[in-house]
Amino acid sequence: MPRFRSEVTALAAEAGAVPTVLDDVRLAVTEACANVVVHAYAGQDTPGDVLVRAVADAGHLDVTVRDWGRGLGAPAVAAGLGLGLVLLRSLTSSVDVVQHPDDGIEVHLGFDLDGNGNGRAGG
């Protein structure tokens, strides 16, 4: 997962993100990927797949983190504090969670690279 964090942060930096947004991107990508590890594939013998896609355009960064795991309707196997989405909302300008019919979750994270529309970032 460090590779995802590093590559998405580098893309944000190249696109002109202010330092506070770079911090938010690092933390949000880490949290979204950690949620996949802790929740999506909990209790499985082998790790599952995760897809991270990021696109920077016109002062905005869109990041998608996708898994093919347990889904939202599955009972929780791994205990958690339930603060993941709260944290993601505090770091981004938008969060959207999509439950796929074939199982799995897709989390879309949006960042305003100047920091003006993000939860805690300032430019």
1-41 pLDDT, tens digit per residue, is 789 999 999 999 999 999 999 999 999 999 999 888 888 88
Distance CA 101, CA 46 (A): 22
**How large is the C-alpha radius of gyration of the chain?**
14
- Residue 93 sits in which domain range? 2-112
**Into how many domains does the chain fold?**
1
Q: Report the relative pairing of strands 50-57 and 94-99 from DSSP bridges.
A: unpaired
Cβ(121)–Cβ(20) under 8 Å? yes
Indicate whether 51 belongs to any domain: yes
pLDDT in tens, 79-93: 454 668 889 999 999
30 in any annotated domain: yes
pTM of the model: 0.85
